[in-house]
Amino acid sequence: MNKLVLILFTFLSVTCFGQISHGGSPYSLNKTLRQQVPKHTLTQLNVQNFIAEDIVTDQHKDIPWRFGIERSVSLNLNNSGIWETLPNGDRVWRLEINSPNALSINFNFNAFNIPNGATFFVFNKNQTLGAFTSQNNKANNLFSTSPIKGDFAILEYYEPASVAGQGSIQVNSVIHGYRDFFKQLKAFGSSGNCNVNAICDTSFWDFEIRSAVMLLTAGNTRFCSGALINNVPQDGTPFVLTANHCGAQSNNIFMFNYQSPDCTNNIDGITTQTISGCTVRATDSPSDFALVELSSIPPSTYNVFYAGWSNINTPPTSATGIHHPAGDVKKISHDLNPLIESGYYSAGIDHWEVLDWNSGTTEGGSSGSPLYDQNHRIVGQLHGGDAACNNDDFDFYGKFSYSWDTDPNTTKQLKFWLDPNNTGTPIMNGYDPNGVTLTNDAVLLNISRVPAFVCGDSITPKITIRNHGSATLTSLDVNYELDALGVNQLNWSGSLPSFGVDSIILPTMYIPSGNHTFRAFCTNPNSTTDQNHLNDSANTSFISNANPTFATLYLNTDNFGGETSWLIRDGGGSTYIESPGYASINGGQQITESLCLYDSCFTLVLKDSYGDGFCCAFGSGSIYLVNNFGDTIAQNTTFNSDSLVFPFCISTTGINELTINTFDIYPNPTNGLFTINSDNSKTYNIQIFDVLGNIVYQKPNNNNKTTIDLRTQTKGVYLVSVITENNRVVKRIIIN
């Protein structure tokens, strides 16, 4: 059980970026000025204590990665630097600020007002930030810059004679970068190899990908991410949803569109599309959300999208995350299974739990990122979790529905800000401020109600469609087929505005046992040609069991049921069935699962993500597996590790020894050489399985006594199955 509260944070990947900079270069780089730039040098900073803290805190996801220390100053146009008047009456002010031995340096301003025609730059030999102009002025008079490599930077303010004395610039803090921001955070290509470039899903997720944003927070020393989110008036108010633990502040810097332009090859992205400053509108800790309003509306050149959302408290049937794992270019992750209601590493109802990502994962660098449901609407933001490329662990997302209005305080809820007119809107589609470019573009979003494993002989698929065109979608042909045996067509009609979503339940289809592929595609939106064929189709593969044999699993969890999971492997070692996931509830839960199997041997694997099982300090758990005759075929009450394996076989005639003397195995335990003694007078088959369900020995036999040599097999538990004409009898043997 994960008894520590771990928070998954974001550390961003950046080389250099401006705050909607407007080009050009500092005056002093093009013209020779007479006077030398005065230097303000801060005292030497002893960073050893900070480094010692980092050795500890870097091990925990609940503490964001720190690269710099904020140092207070008070430097302005009047008390520092030097003014130089040019022949035409214009003036230039310059100041060099040095923080000795810093690896990077950046600045926060508590007074920043640039009059029309004036420009401001921050630069050194490595880099130039700017020009910043009157367009960068904020109502709160605050400003901040991104890090610049090196331990010094020159601040230069150019002021035309026509606006003499109207500007104000005051630096109130300097960030001393004591860890290599550019090496650590310019993490292009550093995320796990299971991650998928976001652009690979552009056909279906292009709009939501454009919503994702990275932000630099907390005195510009820590990092998180979020998403631009729509409001009910759809007026383009630039709200960003992120995580509360990120510590949103007014001097945050927000960066858009850092992503690879190629799917297969990981190519570095742009880092120049940023906005400096925000106003924190609402935050709350139970669901770990923060809503901020950007200081500026993203310009049209950023091509952003305001994501839709749902405040309905119903578990999504699938989920998608868009984020920057390990500071890499933007990635996308998918969970094809329903989400689980949970607390944060505890019992509760304020989070959604992703049990295991089917593709991709999250890492440090993903915190605060949005979680979308099957209809492409935000339902939460990443709080934390243990998921990584090398495991099947979980993530926790603060619930959007819980954040909506659980707390009546308007500074602790989303509703007051996203639905300012109190319309009671439960769902909101996305909004494109630049307008939709295609007139007719119908999207087949997903196929549901076709699980990976179908118990029975029929499926009733549900198709979800979305309108990506500017014209209202009023008609559409939905085509579908099973195993390429012939296309059926259903004619849909309705009224979907841009980004509107609808679902269609198809007729029931009957299927035999085995592997199948179901495919669907849409055509003729509004009785015309679809202008984008890349998002018209979807397919899903599944296995069906039309003649099942059932077993029953009785599971009692401890207080941390969210860490408990199980799966059934077939004889080839493939996962045949897996658990749906359980919530963490004080006192545990009593769960009954009906397992849809067939006559064969399987392996039940019980797992605990924290590695200490369900025994005993946090409530006592137990597991019992019962066959179709009511016989217990596996049980455990002292599970105290990360996994436990139970091989078993099942048949329509049962699996227990039908008589005590049906057959004997000796010696048991054995070194691998043992004898089977049977009282059966007829020919019978012997099959021996390892713990993964693989057959390691198989041979017909007509002797009452036979000797078997498995000394070449690895040590462990094996199942010996004796199969006669009428029944199957299974016993365990231990090779040591």
342 assigned to active site: no
**C-alpha torsion 573→576→580→584, nearest 10:** -30
Strands laid side by side in the 462-467 sheet: 442-448, 462-467, 501-505
In the chain, the amino acid numbered 391 is N
40 assigned to active site: no
Q: Are 648 and 601 in contact (CB under 8 A)?
A: yes
Residues whose CB falls within 8 Å of the CB of residue 689, separated by 6 or more in sequence, listed in order: 571, 601, 647, 649, 695, 696, 718, 719, 721
Q: Which one is catalytic: 276, 367, 565, 721?
A: 367
Measured distance CA(363)–CA(12) in Å, rounded: 11
Measured distance CA(601)–CA(651) in Å, rounded: 9
Q: Are 318 and 373 in contact (CB under 8 A)?
A: yes
Q: What secondary structure letter does DSSP report for 317?
A: S
Burial class (CB in 10 A: 0-12, 13-18, 19+), 593: middle
Q: Are 246 and 42 in contact (CB under 8 A)?
A: no
Residue listed under structure tokens 């841009």? 498
- Measured CA angle at 236 (ends 289, 229), to 5 deg: 25
Q: Which one is catalytic: 245, 323, 324, 334?
A: 245
- Measured CA angle at 618 (ends 612, 622), to 5 deg: 70
Cis amide prior to 290 (ω within 30 degrees): no
376 assigned to active site: no
Burial class (CB in 10 A: 0-12, 13-18, 19+), 28: middle
687 φ/ψ sector (left φ>0, alpha ψ -120 to 50, else beta)? beta
Burial class (CB in 10 A: 0-12, 13-18, 19+), 118: buried
| Cβ neighbours around 598 below 10 Å, total | 17
**C-alpha torsion 469→471→473→479, nearest 10:** -50
Beta bridge partners of residue 553, listed in sequence order: 593, 625
Question: What are the C-alpha distances in Å from 327 to residues 100, 224, 395?
Answer: 27, 10, 18
579 φ/ψ sector (left φ>0, alpha ψ -120 to 50, else beta)? beta
Q: Which one is catalytic: 201, 288, 328, 356?
A: 288
Q: What secondary structure letter does DSSP report for 408?
A: -
Measured distance CA(207)–CA(214) in Å, rounded: 16
Q: Are 718 and 709 in contact (CB under 8 A)?
A: no
Residues whose CB falls within 8 Å of the CB of residue 78, separated by 6 or more in sequence, listed in order: none
Q: Are 246 and 227 in contact (CB under 8 A)?
A: no
Residues identified as active-site = 245, 288, 367
